[in-house]
């Protein structure tokens, strides 16, 4: 059986880590595309030369020619500029929309049957634009944001409670911006509600709420926290790892329930927009959006986040995309 072919569009920081993770996990053969001459060739050569040491056996090729992505089963897109300190993800809109339009046209031409995961920011707008330009079925086009936002949320909870992060289940819904919705009520440590554990820790429900509010706030601003420290770019290990979890679910038809930037067709009361929601990922892409009951406060935060996504999409169409 031939190995799966994975095309990575964008050979920068995230593209490099994606290449390495795919190789280490032997998820498939990699083609890494970038517009910068020699960059993808250099990165892929570097990763490939570790194959003896790390014992992986996949083909890894760098290219500046879209023809090489022909027949890709899966495409992961990171092409575009990252944030600099002081920038919001939305500040990247004009530059990255131009890039995404070209990327979508080429993926449509050379890998028309692929499933696509977009990582480029502003995420919700870039996924929307990719789908619009490519005309791909919405089931085959999704964005990575929620897996990372949820992993950050879970990490902060684990560090606060002094438990292994492996036992923390926590999910973040909504758009990939400051309005994202960490679901506190559903967060748990192997089934035990996180709020109950915090209340026991502090023996004070007011203090527990305050601590959780700080965790929620840190989660919302977590991307910016990394940008501020790195100074020259944005997070790249964790976004790559998150997209790989999604890629693996799709390539191995795992039916994992992962927070995904998925197209909503009435689910959660939203029609015609890409928003972060729980979804089942398998060989067909986004196989099902899973709805859950939100209380009034959660629903209003979710609505607020959806409004922010709608505004971003309006801004993008005003710019002619």
3 state DSSP class of 70: coil
3 state DSSP class of 2: coil
- Beta strand extents in 119-241 (DSSP E only): 141-143, 168-169, 172-173, 181-182, 188-189, 192-193
Q: What is the dihedral of CA 109, 111, 116, 118, to 10 degrees?
A: -50
Residue 10 near ligand APR by CB under 6 A: yes
Residue 273 near ligand APR by CB under 6 A: no
Angle CA 224–104–244, to nearest 5 = 50
We find the least distance from the C-beta atom of residue 116 to ligand APR, in angstroms, to be 14
Q: Which stretch binds ligand APR (CB under 6 A): 10-18, 51-59, 164-172, 250-258?
A: 10-18
- Give 90's contacts (C-beta < 8 A, 6+ positions apart): 122, 125, 177, 312, 315
Which residue is at the shortest CB distance from ligand APR?
A: 12
Q: Which stretch binds ligand APR (CB under 6 A): 8-16, 68-76, 278-286, 287-295?
A: 8-16
Q: Among the options 176, 177, 239, 309, which is catalytic?
A: 176
Q: How far apart are CA 318 and CA 296, in angstroms?
A: 33
- Give 216's contacts (C-beta < 8 A, 6+ positions apart): 153, 182, 184
Specify whether 176 is catalytic: yes
Among 4, 43, 69, 80, binds ligand APR (CB under 6 A): 80
Dig out the tokens for 74 from the structure.
Answer: 């899966």
Binding to ligand APR (CB under 6 A) within 230-259 occurs at: 233-234, 236, 239
We find the least distance from the C-beta atom of residue 136 to ligand APR, in angstroms, to be 18
- Closer residue to ligand APR in complex, CB, 197/243: 243
Binding to ligand APR (CB under 6 A) within 120-159 occurs at: 120-121
Binding to ligand APR (CB under 6 A) within 24-63 occurs at: 34-36, 39
Tally the C-alpha atoms within 13 A of residue 209's C-alpha that lie toward its C-beta. Answer: 3
How far CA 63 is from CA of 5, 29, 41, 66, 240, in Å, comes to: 14, 14, 6, 8, 20
Residue 102 near ligand APR by CB under 6 A: yes
Residue 13 near ligand APR by CB under 6 A: yes
- Closer residue to ligand APR in complex, CB, 158/261: 261
Q: What is the DSSP string of 273-294?
A: EEEEEEEEEETTEEEEEPP---
Binding site: which residues? 10-15, 34, 83, 89, 96, 119-121, 152
Binding site for NAD(+): which residues? 10-15, 34, 96, 119-121
Interface residues with ligand APR (CB under 6 A)?
Answer: 9-15, 34-36, 39, 78-83, 92, 96, 99, 102-103, 119-121, 233-234, 236, 239
């Amino acid at each position: 059986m031939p190995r799966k072919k994975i095309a990575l569009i964008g050979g920068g920081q995230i593209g490099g880590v994606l290449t390495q993770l795919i190789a280490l996990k032997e998820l498939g053969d990699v083609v890494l595309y970038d517009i910068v001459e020699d960059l993808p060739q250099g990165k892929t050569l570097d990763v490939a030369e570790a194959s003896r040491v790390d014992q992986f056996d996949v083909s890894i090729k760098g290219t500046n020619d879209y023809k090489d992505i022909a027949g890709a089963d899966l495409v992961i897109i990171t092409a575009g500029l990252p944030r600099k300190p002081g920038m919001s993800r939305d500040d990247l809109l004009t530059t990255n929309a131009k890039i995404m339009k070209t990327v979508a046209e080429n993926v449509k031409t050379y890998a028309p049957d692929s499933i696509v995961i977009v990582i480029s920011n502003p995420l919700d707008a870039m996924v929307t634009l990719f789908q619009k330009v490519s005309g791909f079925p919405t089931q085959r086009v999704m964005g990575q944001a929620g897996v990372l936002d949820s992993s950050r949320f879970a990490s902060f909870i684990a560090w606060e409670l002094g438990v292994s992060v492996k036992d923390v289940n926590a999910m973040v819904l909504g758009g990939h911006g400051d309005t994202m919705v960490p679901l506190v009520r559903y967060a748990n440590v192997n089934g035990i509600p996180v709020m109950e554990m915090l209340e026991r820790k502090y023996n004070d429900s007011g203090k527990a709420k305050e601590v959780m509010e700080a965790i929620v706030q840190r989660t919302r601003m977590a991307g910016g926290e990394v940008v501020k420290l790195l100074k020259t770019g944005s997070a790249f290990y964790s976004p790559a790892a998150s997209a790989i979890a999604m890629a693996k679910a799709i390539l191995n038809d795992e039916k994992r329930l992962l927070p995904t930037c998925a197209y909503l067709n009435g689910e959660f009361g939203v029609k015609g927009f890409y928003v972060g929601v729980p979804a089942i990922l398998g060989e067909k892409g986004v196989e099902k959006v899973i709805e859950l009951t939100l209380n009034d406060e959660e629903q209003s935060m979710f609505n607020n986040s959806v409004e922010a996504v709608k505004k971003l999409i309006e801004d993008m169409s005003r710019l002619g995309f």
